[in-house]
Amino acid sequence: MVKFTDIVKAFVKGIARSKVSLIGAAITTITFPVLVIAGILDVQGIIRNPYLGFFIYMVLSPLFITGLVLVFFGLFFFKGKEEVGLFTYDYLKEQFTAPNKFVRLRKLITVATFLTLLNVFVIGLVSYTGYHYTESVSFCGTFCHQVMTPEYTAYQNSPHSRVACVECHIGSGAEWFTKAKISGIKQLYAVAFNTYPRPIKTPIDSLRPVKDTCEECHRPEFFQGDKLIVKDKFLPDEKNTHVETVLLMKVGSGGYRGEKAHGIHWHVAPGNKIVYRYTDDARKTITDVTLTKPGGAEVVFSNDDGKSEKANQGTTRVMDCIDCHNRPTHIYLSPDEALDQKLLTGKIPTELPFIKRQAKEEVTRSYATLEEAKNSIATGLRSWYKKNYPDLVAKNPSMLNQAISGAQQAYAENVFPMMSIGWSTYQNFLGHGEDFDRGCFRCHDGSHRTATGETIPADCNTCHILLAQDDPHPKVLQGLRGSSNQ
Ligand code: HEC
Ligand code: HEC
Ligand code: HEC
Ligand code: HEC
Ligand code: HEC
């Protein structure tokens, strides 16, 4: 009768006889406890650091698996048959033909099965958690530190800060998973060898169709109604006067519960198809727009006066959410918006005279680094207020300090010199800018027309009703909020 311990010994001996197995066993034995401890620290969230994840899932785990492979490789192929003969054909034949040894073989199989199961379990766990690690916001957002800082910062301040990067950038399914991993390897290479573009180029051509990303959470048909938008602003005057712009935005729906598609989301109604042709990388110059209506009828709006040589130039694209919501989560504000937000939330004190104007002057200068920007914003504001409001600064120094820190934050959240991202690098298509030259007005500019002269509407009431503009006490809000305050 062969003892169970003998089997284990034979197994160990088998490993010991093969150098390859021995190396494998050494690797496995050393990595195993480290892997288990590091894994627990990571899974339990005791240490939160993207580099720990990288160490576990990209370094330790592959090493551990390599060790295992070496062990079994060695057992099968690299050992002297004559000695222990574990797992070789001769050995197995001998075990099977000699009846008294069959027991031993069974036990050996039990040991091997047990070890294999244990390893499969560990590998399974590691690949599962490793998969989740490479899909995590922490990996995508912070691993390549400098490169993703702008996107990660803007994302954290956005409505989608609880939606993982992969929900929009990869979506579900094996095909895009593989594509993403291949592209991820290219990106890691670009970061390692410092060959990535600064800033990262947009629009991203390879973005997955919205049907598999945005529309997994948002239904295009869904009735959004008319949305009241109140924009709080501060004028560049001595009092930093607080004013409001009020718009009733006709978001509408893509046709919900029997109701027809209407308003802004009419574009994404399942029956409508809008294909546009653009001639520049930024998709800003749109030469023609083809609307296919639910019945199949086509309408072409063109701005090239029917000059046919232009007709086939450029690239075509089917319009979807991203053509308006190109910044659903990486929302970089303009200097005015960023400062207004800080003033509204009290991060910059509104009592400090001319702070809107002065802060804007400081944050819109061009700086080579964030450090330089912060220092220069501080010294710039300090010297201006010392010169123009010496008493105020002497009496209440904390007010100026707070304003400086608020202005620095407004800068740091939106401008990233190390990635060459300035105030207007990434523009939002959701609107038209003060000069009516971008976003919606790439098409709604009145100059795209059909052969019979119809245009894409540019009338101010097409998309919204402007209820108040830069008004210190909008009547409409007094009515809605109750007349006691504005
Ligand atoms: C709600 C969906 C969504 C989420 C969540 C999201 N992104 Fe994006 N991301 C987009 C869209 C849409 C674009 C821009 C597409 C365009 O302009 O072509 C984009 C663009 C980018 C770009 C290109 C540069 C830029 O600023 O436009 C990078 C880099 C990026 N995302 C990284 C990330 C990282 C890292 C995360 C997680 C921290 C993340 N994204 C989360 C939708 C998302
Ligand atoms: C995993 C789910 C998910 C995905 C994918 C997703 N979103 Fe969202 N989105 C949300 C949630 C949740 C909110 C609401 C946040 C809140 O109000 O707290 C939201 C909010 C929004 C809003 C309203 C923002 C605001 O200012 O209030 C817009 C617009 C939007 N999403 C567009 C998009 C677009 C465009 C995409 C694709 C690029 C997308 N979403 C992908 C879940 C998602
Ligand atoms: C023609 C441009 C356009 C297209 C295309 C478009 N949207 Fe919008 N959407 C808007 C505008 C404008 C608003 C109002 C946003 C604002 O100013 O707050 C809006 C509002 C929304 C809101 C609600 C925000 C809120 O606060 O209630 C969601 C969610 C949304 N869009 C998702 C989508 C999704 C998903 C798609 C693609 C299926 C899409 N949109 C396509 C322009 C568009
Ligand atoms: C790629 C071109 C394109 C862009 C960009 C675009 N639109 Fe349109 N839009 C169209 C076309 C084409 C029509 C249909 C005109 C017609 O039927 O006469 C239309 C119609 C509309 C309508 C009328 C819908 C109805 O009920 O019939 C609204 C409202 C609208 N757009 C709002 C917007 C807003 C807001 C934006 C920007 C956030 C925007 N559009 C961006 C092409 C565009
Ligand atoms: C094709 C649709 C469309 C048309 C036409 C249009 N707008 Fe707008 N407008 C928008 C959208 C979208 C926004 C952005 C709302 C937001 O930022 O949430 C906007 C924002 C605004 C704002 C607020 C800007 C701010 O940040 O304070 C004003 C003011 C404005 N529009 C005035 C006008 C005037 C005046 C016209 C007529 C010449 C006009 N719009 C025509 C879609 C349109």
Query: Measured from the CA of 320, which atom of ligand 3 is nearest?
Result: 5
Structure tokens at 234: 């501060």
Distances (CA, A) of 384 to 93, 177, 358, 404, 405: 93, 54, 8, 12, 16
User: Does the Cβ of 213 fall within 6 Å of ligand 2?
Assistant: yes
Q: How far is the CA of 193 from the centre of ligand 2 (A)?
A: 34
In the numeric block, the tokens 């990535």 are attached to 196
What distance in angstroms lies between residue 202's CA and the mean position of ligand 1's atoms?
Answer: 10
Residue 486 pLDDT:
46
DSSP state of 202: S
What's the order of all strands across the beta sheet hosting 464-471?
225-234, 242-252, 464-471
Ligand 4 binding pocket includes 322 (Cβ within 6 Å): no
- Token readout for 293 is 């209506």
Instruction: Tell me the torsion sign for CA atoms 97, 101, 106, 110.
Output: negative
Q: What is the largest CA-CA distance in the chain?
A: 104
Cβ–ligand 2 contact at 264 (below 6 Å): no
List the one residue out of 217, 124, 212, 137 whose CA is nearest residue 173. Answer: 212
pLDDT, residue 210, reads 92
| C-beta of 233 in contact with ligand 4 (< 6 A) | no
In terms of Cβ atoms closer than 10 Å to its own Cβ (0-12, 13-18, 19+), residue 204 is exposed
- Residue 267 DSSP label: G
Contacts of 9 (CB under 8 A, 6+ apart): none
Angle at 429 between CA 464 and CA 307, to 5 degrees: 95
Q: Mean pLDDT for each consecutive 10-residue tract of the chain (486 residues)?
A: 70 75 88 86 76 80 87 68 56 70 72 79 78 82 83 93 91 80 82 87 88 92 92 97 97 89 93 93 92 92 69 87 95 96 97 98 97 97 97 94 98 95 93 92 94 93 96 92 66
Is 339 in contact with 234 (CB distance < 8 Å)?
Answer: yes
Please tell me if the CB atom of residue 158 comes closer than 6 angstroms to any atom of ligand 5: no
Q: What does the alpha-carbon distance between residue 10 and residue 17 come to, in Å, rounded to a whole number?
A: 10
Ligand 1 atom with the smallest distance to the CA of 148 is 35
d(Cα 441, Cα 390) in Å, to the nearest integer?
47
Q: Which pTM does this prediction carry?
A: 0.86
Minimal-distance CA residue to ligand 3 atom 22: 224
List the structure tokens of 75. 């057992």
